[in-house]
Amino acid sequence: MDFLQTENVKDCAEKYIGKFRFCLFSGHSVYLNSYQIQKYSDKHRHLCFVDESGIPTRPSQERPGFFAIGGIIIPEKHWHEIRKKVLCLKDQNNYKGAVKWRYFAPNNDDPTNPMLEWDEEKRNEFRLSLFNIIIENNAIKLICCVCNTRLAYNLRHVNNQEDVYFQTYKAVTERF
C-alpha cells in the first residue's frame, strides 16, 4: 500500500488533493489511504479502520436518505492482540475473507457471502463474538457519522455524492 506522510497539513491539502479522495486536517502528521489511517502523536500511534455504508444518494434520489461512515480506533500496542482474536474467531467458524456487515442480513444470498449456509442464530453468535472482542478492550473506540443526504444537499457546499462522502468522512477524521 502506498502511504503519504506529511508534517504539514497545508502541504497535504495543496499538493496531494488530486491524488487522494480526502485530506485530513487533524493538526498531526498522518499517513492516509482509503482504507486505513495511521495517526501519530508524541505518545502513541493509533490505527483507524474506516468503512462506509455504500454510496451516498444523488441529489435527485429519495432513498436511501442516509449515508454513514464508521470507524474503529485501535491503539497500535493492542492491534496485534485484536487481530489475532479476530483471525482465531474466523478460523473457528471457517469464515473466509473480509467481515462485511451486509453478510449478516438474514436474506443475503450473495454467492460470495461466507455465511451463506449459516442460520440466523450462528450469524448472531459470530456477530456477538466480534462485538465482545471490541468491548473487552477499553482502549478501543468506535466512531461514526451519519449524514441525512436530503438535508445535506440543501447546503451550499454540498452539490454531489463526492461532497456528501467528503463531509461525512471529514466529520469522522476530525474527531480521530
Q: Note the pLDDT tens digit of each residue in 122-159.
A: 999 999 999 999 999 999 999 999 999 989 999 999 99
Q: What's phi and psi for 90, nearest 5 deg?
A: -60, -40
Summarize pLDDT for 12-61 with one digit per residue, the tens.
433 443 333 333 333 333 333 333 444 544 467 888 888 888 888 888 88
Residue predicted with more confidence, 83 or 12 = 83
Q: Decide if 164 is inside a domain.
A: yes
Q: How far apart are CA 176 and CA 174, in angstroms?
A: 5
The pLDDT value given to residue 60: 85
Q: How far apart are CA 129 and CA 85, in angstroms?
A: 10
Identify the CA nearest to 67 among candidates 153, 160, 146: 146
| Residue 121 lies inside a defined structural domain of this protein | yes
pLDDT of residue 32: 39
Average pLDDT taken over every residue of the chain: 78
Task: Provide the whole-model pTM.
Answer: 0.67
Does any domain span residue 33?
no
Quote the pLDDT of residue 43.
64
Q: For residue 16, tell me if it sits in a domain.
A: no
Q: Is residue 31 situated within a structural domain?
A: no
Residue 17 lies in a domain: no
How many whole angstroms separate alpha carbon 93 and alpha carbon 128? Answer: 13
pLDDT above 60: residue 11 = no
User: Domain residues for 85?
Assistant: 44-175
Please report, rounded to a whole number, the percentage of residues in the chain having pLDDT higher than 70: 76
141 found inside a domain: yes
Residue 30 lies in a domain: no
Considering its fold, how many domains does the chain have in total? Answer: 1
The reported pLDDT for the residue numbered 64 is: 72
